[in-house]
Structure 1
């Protein structure tokens, strides 16, 4: 598996990290699901390990700070040239910075922020660790997308804070359209993330999606390992699994660009998705 060793353009997704109240359980679950192996990471602010797929660093798992029962979840990090400067832009554009910027040892400098709708995301100024070392292959991060009730507002925020430009879906005549239902963030001349309209009562969130060779097989393994298939209120989950309100219009699974996509939750409730390589 070829490693990514160059610094990504500012605004590019570059890392994803899970905070959980059961680190050992998460290691067992995701290790079995994606074939990950683990190595120690920075021990501040808490216990943390890095996941490897085929020898390449692809994600991190850490212990949630604070009291037990804190929500379990994945956070998408975006590459930035200067974490302090971008954090200030987040504040100026109406967002919040909940953590940092702080130094993560010699690996880099990070901050945890949220947009106007409350969707959390990270900023990563890579030093020794530039970000994930592989993507788009089985066991590695895949697509990155934001689910929000107000795509135009989110598009304006991320354009001001991170992206080079925002592109709406193509109109029938081939020209751009407004970002009413969805758009793409462009950094370094390429599409790096998508913004989509969500539905239901669930808050806005960045969705972590991993590439797998066989979505059906991965889904079955996730359920056997204590996870579950996630579907929005009132819609059946794929394969007859139990339903869970995720505020998402896709149901438990659907076929999109790049193959079948299934939305899942780990045994502690951490939401993630898998997309079939295609």
Structure 2
């Protein structure tokens, strides 16, 4: 996510949230890993809190109804100037709108949708000048990727709905598309093919910045999470993929000046 002086460009990842079965335990986990504190948030979909780091919002946590046995996963919200119009575009381009559009207190208007491959994402229309979430600092989101069967196939949907310009992340790698808005990379689509978990389909994933990747992984395991991909280094820098105790996967990446 990136900061803007007023409204975010439509299509920009602007928020990330997680719906879980045990909200109190999940708050304890992310406080231990990222140092998050929590304040009350909109309650339209049930108990919900905003995670705060250094006085700035970074993410949302909500609690699923007891009878909803859904996969637990971080969900990316994409900015919109008109949530109702975006909902119509999603439907027209082969996606599904599952919830909304509906008002979230006086903060804005939102909806939950799925792309044609089944990956769930949110859309957020700010009601006024946005309260810009922290980005890039330790404990805050720094990047969002869609893990799907074919980046080439689903990229057209996001291009039509949000106006992205998809480009290969690497000319030699046809399995990844970086999505640009106004010549600025904002998120990516990664072809996961047969490596997608058997119990779920395509999904959006959030990358959080940390000051020390190895220490973040240690905190994850000490707090009941597990390691999916141990710390390693690639073109994007040092990172690791982990899950929280309820199985929600996320990636920790080295913040600038970290180690």
Q: TM-score with structure 2 length normalisation?
A: 0.90
User: What secondary structure does 1:72 align onto?
Assistant: coil
Q: Work out whether residues 237 and 253 of structure 2, in 8 Å CA contact, stay in contact via their aligned partners in 1.
A: yes
1:164-203 map, 5 Å: 164-169=164-169, 171=171, 180-198=174-192, 199-202=194-197, 203=201
The structure whose residues are more often strand, as a share, is 2
Q: Work out whether residues 121 and 206 of structure 1, in 8 Å CA contact, stay in contact via their aligned partners in 2.
A: yes
Give 1:70 shift: 2.7
User: What secondary structure does 2:169 align onto?
Assistant: coil
Give 1:158 shift: 0.6
Q: Work out whether residues 40 and 48 of structure 2, in 8 Å CA contact, stay in contact via their aligned partners in 1.
A: yes
Q: Work out whether residues 11 and 78 of structure 1, in 8 Å CA contact, stay in contact via their aligned partners in 2.
A: yes
1:133 and 1:258, CA in 2 relative to 1: closer, same or farther beyond 3 A? Answer: same
Give 1:123 shift: 0.3
Residue equivalent to 2:220: 222
Q: Work out whether residues 77 and 122 of structure 1, in 8 Å CA contact, stay in contact via their aligned partners in 2.
A: yes
1:113-132 map, 5 Å: 113-128=113-128, 130=130, 132=132
1:78-100 deviation per Cα after TM superposition (whole angstroms, max 9, x unaligned): 00110111111111111111111
1:146-201 deviation per Cα after TM superposition (whole angstroms, max 9, x unaligned): 111111111111100113311223548xxxxxx83111111233110011111424
Residue equivalent to 1:147: 147
CA distance in 1, matches of 2:8, 2:163: 12
Which of 240, 243, 249 is matched with 1:262 structurally? Answer: 240
Give 1:252 shift: 3.5
CA distance in 2, matches of 1:68, 1:92: 28
Q: Work out whether residues 21 and 66 of structure 2, in 8 Å CA contact, stay in contact via their aligned partners in 1.
A: no
**Which ranges of structure 1 fall in alignment gaps of 5 or more residues?**
173-178, 231-250
CA distance in 1, matches of 2:5, 2:249: 29
Could you list the structure 1 runs, at least 4 aligned residues long, displaced by more than 4 angstroms after superposition. none
Residue equivalent to 2:49: 49
Q: Work out whether residues 170 and 176 of structure 2, in 8 Å CA contact, stay in contact via their aligned partners in 1.
A: no
Give 1:131 shift: 6.0
User: What secondary structure does 1:11 align onto?
Assistant: coil
Q: Work out whether residues 144 and 206 of structure 1, in 8 Å CA contact, stay in contact via their aligned partners in 2.
A: yes
Residue equivalent to 2:205: 207
Residue equivalent to 1:277: 255
Residue equivalent to 1:6: 6
User: What secondary structure does 1:181 align onto?
Assistant: strand
CA distance in 1, matches of 2:110, 2:44: 12
Are 1:83 and 2:80 matched, yes or no? no
Q: TM-score with structure 1 length normalisation?
A: 0.84
**Which ranges of structure 2 fall in alignment gaps of 5 or more residues?**
none
Matched residues, number: 250
Q: Work out whether residues 94 and 116 of structure 2, in 8 Å CA contact, stay in contact via their aligned partners in 1.
A: yes
Aligned Cα RMSD in Å?
1.9
CA distance in 1, matches of 2:43, 2:33: 25
1:202-236 deviation per Cα after TM superposition (whole angstroms, max 9, x unaligned): 22111111100111100011100000011xxxxxx
Q: Work out whether residues 5 and 133 of structure 1, in 8 Å CA contact, stay in contact via their aligned partners in 2.
A: no
